[in-house]
Amino acid sequence: MSLALHIAALASRVGTEIKALVRPDHPGLARAWVSFGYNGSAVVINAAHNVAGVTRLAAGRYRITFATPFADANYCWQAFARSSANTGTARTALARSTSDAKTAAYVEVVCATGNTSLADTTEMNLVVYR
């Protein structure tokens, strides 16, 4: 058997093993994600999975509503906010423990500047794992 046939057989075996292990209910797969931004005077969703919508609650404060709610609020979320200008002004995605809600149906996140002022961003990305 040639080296190419051995590599092809190995690749096929690896693919079969991975397919058996990584199923839709695997905890390492994102259950919801969204890429959105605030442009002009509206929230614009660029792409999403299991997200019914994004609502701007105030400057820099957003509620992401899931299309299919989770069983409870015991999920992990991560977010990244992009600066809206090339001036070195950083943006950070975060949640304030007492002000921003996390329920089975939605999560609220904020976008803050380096001095912790809430500010809108043209791109925020959020991923939810459960």
Higher pLDDT among residues 123 and 91, named by residue: 123
pLDDT of 109 reads: 94
Tokens 């943006």 locate to 91
b/e code 90-113 from CB counts within 10 Å (16+ = b) = ebbbeeeeeebeeeeebbbbbbbb
How many whole angstroms separate alpha carbon 62 and alpha carbon 113?
A: 15
Q: What is the chain's mean pLDDT, rounded?
A: 88
**pLDDT band at residue 33, thresholds of 50, 70 and 90?**
very high
Q: 100 — phi, psi (to 5°)?
A: -110, 130
Checking if the pLDDT of 6 tops 90, the result is: no
Checking if the pLDDT of 82 tops 90, the result is: no
Checking if the pLDDT of 86 tops 80, the result is: no
**pLDDT band at residue 24, thresholds of 50, 70 and 90?**
confident
How many whole angstroms separate alpha carbon 6 and alpha carbon 34?
A: 41
Non-local (6+) Cβ contacts of 83 within 8 A are: 89, 90, 91, 121
Higher pLDDT among residues 128 and 84, named by residue: 128
